[in-house]
Amino acid sequence: MLRRLEPSYKTVIFSVLFLLSLWFIYQIKDIIFMVFVAVILMSALNPAVDKLEKHRLPRSLAIALLYLVLWIVLGTLIAFIVPGVVSQTTRLIQVVSTGFSHIDFLTAHQQDISQQLISYLGSLPSDLLQLLVNFFNNVITVLTTIVISFYLTLEHKNLDFYLAKLINPQKSEPILTTLEMIEQRLGSWVRGELVLMTSIGIFTYLGLTVLGVDIALPLAILAGLMEIIPNIGPIISALPAVLIAWTIHPLLALSTVALYFLIHFLENNFLVPKIMQKAVGVHPLISILALLIGFRILGPLGAVLGIPLVIILQVVLQQKHLIPE
């Protein structure tokens, strides 16, 4: 005879609390991601703050000084780069438009494309208003994230200790070690990515300039940004450069292919082993899957945060001896 299973009141209460917890986490997901990004920034900046603090500089002043230097450097780069990006992007649009005009399919359907373009321009004012709203929301989010990272860095020493006590008071020491390893790996990843992206961007800009491609700056910035996607990123960034070079001369297109191949070769054999291998230690296939899954769930933000989440998971599993060191 079958026995009917009736859930106990503890099971019901646990289920309700679990569902409420999931609902609450979903409601504050934006805040969680903001704090996660702030933790990554803290992990990247904390070693520099510790070095300044060793020179008898108050921690709050050291953090403020570091942020000031970063803002000055970033503002200077923007002031120098933005005018060139704007002018060369305008030139890029003109080149792309000229190239499209030679495609038979687009020429045959020019009227349909024009009508769709007119309808799109008709909705541009409302889209522009939404774009401005999103821009100011993003500015507020960035500023809030910076403020959170400032206070996380300021309270870094006490934060790890209290967090380890909160997770498990009986095993606070191993948890504290795990948290320190996570911060070290995340900080190394951020610093390594910035060095790698900057190096690839500079090499691409110099190479395209030597070849005579007059739209080198936006293409170099694209190449630097795409470095966050291992193996696939350089191919994606090379396609527009090769197409633009082809509109100038087929020989220039071949030279551009050779340039990107050379940069990719130098990256894989010299830059990545020196900069990223010890810093990250994540297999390229795992990195690509993390980026794809993150992009599918959260869009571009999820793609950026995919690898840090894999790093955290890897450190936690290593501490539990579930995977070999």
pLDDT digits (tens, 9 = 90+) for 232-265: 778 888 888 888 888 788 888 899 999 999 988 8
CA atoms of 259 and 244, how far apart (whole Å): 14
| Buried/exposed code over 156-179 (b: 16+ C-beta within 10 A; e: otherwise) | beebbeeebeeeeeeebeebbebb
Q: What is the pLDDT of residue 304?
A: 72
CA distances from 318 to 83, 175, 181, 192, 325 (A): 47, 12, 10, 22, 6
Q: What is the pLDDT of residue 258?
A: 92
Q: What percent of the chain has pLDDT over 90?
A: 5
CB atoms within 10 A of CB 97: 9
pTM of the model: 0.69
- 141-171: pLDDT as tens digits: 778 888 888 888 887 777 767 676 666 667 6
Answer with the residue of higher pLDDT: 298 or 240: 240
pLDDT-wise least confident of 94-98, 259-263, 321-325: 321-325
Which stretch, 72-76, 147-151, 180-184, 199-203, has highest mean pLDDT? 199-203
Report domain extents, the chain. Answer: 186-325
